[in-house]
Amino acid sequence: MNDPTSQVFPVWLGGEWCAASSNESLSAHNPQTGEGLSECYPVSTWDDLETSLAYATEAFEALRLVAPQRLAQFLDDYATRIERDAERLAAAASIETGLPVAPRLKDVEIPRTVNQLRQAAKAAADGSWALPTIDSQNNIRSCHVAIGPVVVFGPNNFPFAYNAIAGGDFASAIAAGNPVIAKAHPAHPTTTRLLAEHCAAAVEAAGLPAATVQLLYQFSSDDGLRLVGDSRVAAFGFTGSRSAGLALKAACDAVGTPSYLEMSSVNPVVVLSGALEERLDDVVDKFCTSCLMATGQFCTNPGLVILIEGSNTDAFIEKVGKRFAETPGGVLLTQGVQASLAAGVAKVLAAGAEAVAGGGINSGPAISFQNTLLRVSGAKFLQNPEVFQTEMFGNASLFVVAADVAEVLEIIAHLEGNLTGTIFSASSSGTDEQDYQRIAPRLRQKVGRLNDDKMPTGVLVTAAMNHGGPFPATGHAGFTAVGFPACVRRFSMLQCFDGVRHEHLPELLRDPNPTGKTWRLIDGGWSQGDVATAAAATR
Amino acid sequence: MNDPTSQVFPVWLGGEWCAASSNESLSAHNPQTGEGLSECYPVSTWDDLETSLAYATEAFEALRLVAPQRLAQFLDDYATRIERDAERLAAAASIETGLPVAPRLKDVEIPRTVNQLRQAAKAAADGSWALPTIDSQNNIRSCHVAIGPVVVFGPNNFPFAYNAIAGGDFASAIAAGNPVIAKAHPAHPTTTRLLAEHCAAAVEAAGLPAATVQLLYQFSSDDGLRLVGDSRVAAFGFTGSRSAGLALKAACDAVGTPSYLEMSSVNPVVVLSGALEERLDDVVDKFCTSCLMATGQFCTNPGLVILIEGSNTDAFIEKVGKRFAETPGGVLLTQGVQASLAAGVAKVLAAGAEAVAGGGINSGPAISFQNTLLRVSGAKFLQNPEVFQTEMFGNASLFVVAADVAEVLEIIAHLEGNLTGTIFSASSSGTDEQDYQRIAPRLRQKVGRLNDDKMPTGVLVTAAMNHGGPFPATGHAGFTAVGFPACVRRFSMLQCFDGVRHEHLPELLRDPNPTGKTWRLIDGGWSQGDVATAAAATR
């Protein structure tokens, strides 16, 4: 029940900020102090979700008449509003997440978020994301098109860049022309509300349908399953835990709704002997920075390092262990993250790993855990590969010491799907190169992104990025959550127009190039030209 | 149990024709005569499936070292072998399916199949299907890559063009570089065996890994679910009934395996008043040809026609009914098809439709059903929209007569996802055009392909085709089963190479264009050039 003396913030439905249909409220915590924050946010009942679905369905009808340039205008304007308010936004997010205002939030994550929204704007206005494909001789034309209302659940660890109302899934879904029902993460509702206020101003300024974007803060997991399984939901974007992701995926699968889920990943890193021989301290540095940055709370955190017994292996482990022990454990996002990290570490220790550094909770007001380095032999890993792949989300990693390359290959054969895989090898050709040739093809097939000699953290927003990977890292290995324009296609359907009269075609598929620079696959070749021009050129 | 006196054909596993692990056998029937055919084919037990999985896993490792040009060579050679043997193949298929040798099998379906294999060869050799994407400045590069062993189940109605060992899914999966485990359709095992013999010769001639293609004829549905749910299966292609498709989809979903399913579709056709006024007889002709061709056994058969009450509506229905009654009902593929058609017609009649023509089984040795035209009012349709969308696979269609355009819109709002949707309207602008503008946007979102003034049957194999559509017509509205190169991407995963040394990159992503004509998205523009050239050009 709400405390009647405290104000509960409204939800944003159908273009209005309105009192939630709710019996409960939630407040976030400041993980630096452990204290509860004063702002109260509603836990909606089904009535709010039903309302959001009805509005989103209407908004989709209206959005189909909106020129993509207007979507671009909205995305650009929203980006600018966030940019202008970066200081206040970063401060709010820092209180809710414990992440530092600078450089992380203000200088890295907000600029990335702004950049993503602008890339989405560019993709929307340009239209090339839709892979327009034209067979001029037979007048058969197709492209990807908005699919319908999209529900987005954001994660705890990126209050801006993956926020359900401002991050990559949001920007992709809007760029394709879909309305979005966003669910805030309960760990940073105020950050989300501030974003939503900018979003609302931008929706209004662009004259988009009022329910193009809607915001709910929280609801029961049963209502969440009911929401994504509702026939009015056309697609679902999710970033979060495996257990929640799998339950939501099942609800979508049962009704044939495409879901794009980014779940857990331990991001295996293989360090070959030559790399340690050549640049041990450099690899120690790179690993420690990657694993401890933001208290390790990245989906691409290097949580599993595979080493081979050798003259430098123990020295490497020792140096990393020393650095972990010397460095104070950072602040974790929530008590849930802390509890889950503690449970993961305990599980891996119970299975027979030994602690090189850390392993326990840091006492004090801040929510924190010791920087934790665990170690296990390859042979022991292979006795229980599933348990040793338990994600320890946070500042922890498991080092697996294999007897030889053959054992490395066996370990890789037992790996689940991951977002990334990494190999460090000596820069000079030598035995590392032979090992690389044996290891890379097998690791390659288990991961969405392969890195040479660089740690997996740091996901550049570029067209060539793949932030995705085989199940259970994500729900479908063919899609990426980061990288325009490909990420936009997740929230689309393919539509073909067969023998359709020219005046009935969408602009993207008519003879004249819609923008003068949109890329279209015309009669087998990619072209920025008009249809007649291109067809004439290939004749 | 096998009849010990009859020979049971072997299965094709690991490159060998070997006796199946089987307790049972099956024989197909000649639907023209109703007689059982003499050839016996094995119903495999799990042992055969297990064997096929082990071989396919090995074959995939080997295939990753095979140049795409060799896959192309195989596909081309296989196409030529089918082409050369077209007469014998068409004769065998005609006996098993009742479809005429000419023109259907020999002059249409085999040439289409051969054409598909050749388009797949071209796609494999060229590599543009993989959407290679290069950020040269950051050395981040990505493309779609083979995903692993693919299981394909083919349907009853296309013994060549959708055959699990020669059709579109097969050609797509191979072009991407995957091994295929094909399951024959039990209605045409001999056709499938003859294809497999050509396939085996082509695999050997190209020097592909022996288990690149394997063939099983039949197994229990439980074993089928276990097969597609096995962790060694990377993707699944299916064309067939909704009930089987949904069960197999659930087995795939549970383990995160992507499945591409083409299930049922009634392919709504809206005929506007002006079209009837302008060219009634032409529409009658087009509709009857489309609906009765191949005894209506197409997934794009026009099974639901939406008309509006008007001066020509009854005349149209009457003329179609007359033509249906006068035309002898063709041969159906199997007794199962006949039974299912009879059940579908009975269900729709029981719900309140009336029979304008036909409605019953044709007696005689041939498996046949009367050409059946049913009729219902829009109001009655809306009382029970689910039942009135029952697929009547075969030579039957339901005409729904709506009171007005508003009712048409309401009917469309209740439609499930379909492969195609069609609107016939008057060629001169008039009220039809206004009606089109109201109807098309709503119909558009329910179907994968929209046709103007042409019936939905006839799926041209072109890059711009979409043979797909919203659930439950298929399992994912973002993919097409027909149309190279897009159809190839279904059987792939996205792989990114981040900071990977140039010599570690696949050829498709290295600086020089791999073929001199492969299309790659380099630094934001599509190019057939080398990376340096393209990057220099955009600087």
On whether any CB of chain A is under 8 Å from the CB of B524, the answer is: yes
Give the pair of three-digit tokens for residue B453: 């003034």
- Taking residues B121-142, what's their average pLDDT? 98
The label of the residue with tokens 């039974």 reads: B339
Compute the half-sphere exposure of residue A115: CA atoms within 13 Å on the CB side of its CA.
14
On whether any CB of chain A is under 8 Å from the CB of B202, the answer is: no
Give the pair of three-digit tokens for residue A311: 């003259």
On whether any CB of chain B is under 8 Å from the CB of A54, the answer is: no
Q: Does residue A3 sit in helix, strand or coil?
A: coil
CB A290 within 8 A of CB A396: no
On whether any CB of chain B is under 8 Å from the CB of A537, the answer is: no
pLDDT value at A539 more than 50: no
- Round to whole Å and give the CA distance between A228 and A235: 8
- Round to whole Å and give the CA distance between B419 and B456: 9
Select which of B96, B262, B407, B416 is catalytic.
B262
Contact B140 A464 (CB under 8 A): yes
Contact A138 B462 (CB under 8 A): yes
Which class for A46: exposed (0-12), middle (13-18), buried (19 or more C-beta within 10 A)? middle
pLDDT value at A428 more than 90: no
Q: What is the pLDDT of residue B23?
A: 85
> Which residues of chain B make contact with A526, given a CB cutoff of 8 A?
519, 526
Confidence of residue A81 (pLDDT cuts 50, 70, 90): very high
Strand ordering across the sheet containing A218-219: A22-26, A41-44, A218-219
Per residue in B499-521, pLDDT tens?
A: 999 999 999 999 999 999 999 99
CB A307 within 8 A of CB A422: no
CB B239 within 8 A of CB B262: yes
Contact B475 A256 (CB under 8 A): yes
Contact B494 A466 (CB under 8 A): yes
CB A297 within 8 A of CB A396: no
- Taking residues A463-489, what's their average pLDDT? 98
- Round to whole Å and give the CA distance between A163 and A239: 9
Per residue in A319-357, pLDDT tens?
A: 999 999 999 999 999 999 999 999 999 999 999 999 999
Q: Which residues fall within 8 angstroms of residue A503, CB to CB, at 6 or more apart?
A: none
DSSP bridge pairs for B182: B152, B215
How many residues are listed for chain B in this entry? Answer: 539
Q: Between residues 69 and 98 of chain B, which touch chain A (CB distance below 8 Å)?
A: none
> Which residues of chain A make contact with B477, given a CB cutoff of 8 A?
147, 258, 493-494
Per residue in B375-405, pLDDT tens?
A: 999 999 999 999 999 999 999 999 999 999 9
CA distance A427 to chain B (A): 10
The chain-wide mean pLDDT, for chain B, equals 96
- Round to whole Å and give the CA distance between B440 and B438: 6
What single letter denotes the amino acid at residue A415? L
CA distance B489 to chain A (A): 8
Q: Which residues fall within 8 angstroms of residue B388, CB to CB, at 6 or more apart?
A: B304, B348, B351, B353, B376, B380, B381, B398, B400
Confidence of residue B2 (pLDDT cuts 50, 70, 90): very low
- Taking residues A489-493, what's their average pLDDT? 98
Contact A453 B498 (CB under 8 A): no
Contact B466 A142 (CB under 8 A): yes
- Taking residues B357-372, what's their average pLDDT? 96
Q: Whole-prediction pTM value?
A: 0.97
Which class for A38: exposed (0-12), middle (13-18), buried (19 or more C-beta within 10 A)? exposed
Task: Delimit the domains of chain A by residue range.
Answer: 51-126+146-263+474-492, 268-452
Per residue in A53-75, pLDDT tens?
A: 999 999 999 999 999 999 999 99
Check residue A276 and give left, alpha or beta (phi > 0: left; psi -120 to 50: alpha).
Answer: alpha
- Round to whole Å and give the CA distance between B471 and A234: 10
Contact A257 B499 (CB under 8 A): no
- Taking residues B76-104, what's their average pLDDT? 98
Compute the half-sphere exposure of residue B133: CA atoms within 13 Å on the CB side of its CA.
22
Contact A519 B498 (CB under 8 A): no
- Residue B270 CA, distance from chain mean position: 24
Q: What is the pLDDT of residue B6?
A: 65
- Taking residues B319-338, what's their average pLDDT? 97
Q: What is the pLDDT of residue A534?
A: 52
Per residue in A442-467, pLDDT tens?
A: 999 999 999 999 999 999 999 999 99
Q: What is the pLDDT of residue A431?
A: 87
On whether any CB of chain A is under 8 Å from the CB of B497, the answer is: yes
pLDDT value at B429 more than 90: no
CB A248 within 8 A of CB A230: no
Q: Between residues 210 and 249 of chain A, which touch chain B (CB distance below 8 Å)?
A: 249
Select which of B291, B299, B391, B410 is catalytic.
B299
Q: Is residue B407 annotated as part of the catalytic site, yes or no?
A: no
Write the residue in B140, B250, B525 that is nearest to A462 by C-beta: B140
Contact A463 B524 (CB under 8 A): yes
- Round to whole Å and give the CA distance between A358 and B372: 76
On whether any CB of chain B is under 8 Å from the CB of A122, the answer is: no
On whether any CB of chain B is under 8 Å from the CB of A471, the answer is: yes
pLDDT value at B334 more than 50: yes
State the maximum Cα–Cα separation within chain B, in Å, rounded to a whole number.
76
Per residue in A12-62, pLDDT tens?
A: 999 999 999 998 999 999 999 999 999 999 999 999 999 999 999 999 999
Give the pair of three-digit tokens for residue B510: 């290295």
- Taking residues B493-501, what's their average pLDDT? 98
Closest residue of chain B to A133, computed from CA coordinates: B464
Q: What is the pLDDT of residue B430?
A: 78
Q: What is the dihedral of CA A228, A231, A234, A235, to 10 degrees?
A: 20
Q: Active-site residues of A: which are they? A: 262, 299
Contact B472 A141 (CB under 8 A): no
Q: What is the pLDDT of residue B201?
A: 98
* Residue environment code for A292-306, b if the CB has 16+ CB neighbours within 10 A, otherwise e: bbbbbbbbbbbbbbb
The chain-wide mean pLDDT, for chain A, equals 96
* Residue environment code for B321-352, b if the CB has 16+ CB neighbours within 10 A, otherwise e: bebbeeeebbbbbbeebbebbbebbeebbebe
**What is the domain class of B268-452 according to CATH?**
alpha beta
Q: Does residue B406 sit in helix, strand or coil?
A: helix
Minimal CA–CA distance to B22: which of B31, B13, B30? B13
CA distance A330 to chain B (A): 28
Minimal CA–CA distance to B12: which of B206, B216, B232? B216
pLDDT value at B536 more than 80: no
**What is the domain class of A51-126+146-263+474-492 according to CATH?**
alpha beta
pLDDT value at B5 more than 90: no
CB A115 within 8 A of CB A163: no
pLDDT value at B227 more than 80: yes
On whether any CB of chain A is under 8 Å from the CB of B492, the answer is: yes
Domain B11-17+39-127+147-262 CATH superfamily: Aldehyde Dehydrogenase; Chain A, domain 1 (3.40.605.10)
Confidence of residue A103 (pLDDT cuts 50, 70, 90): very high
Q: What is the pLDDT of residue A23?
A: 85
pLDDT value at A5 more than 60: no
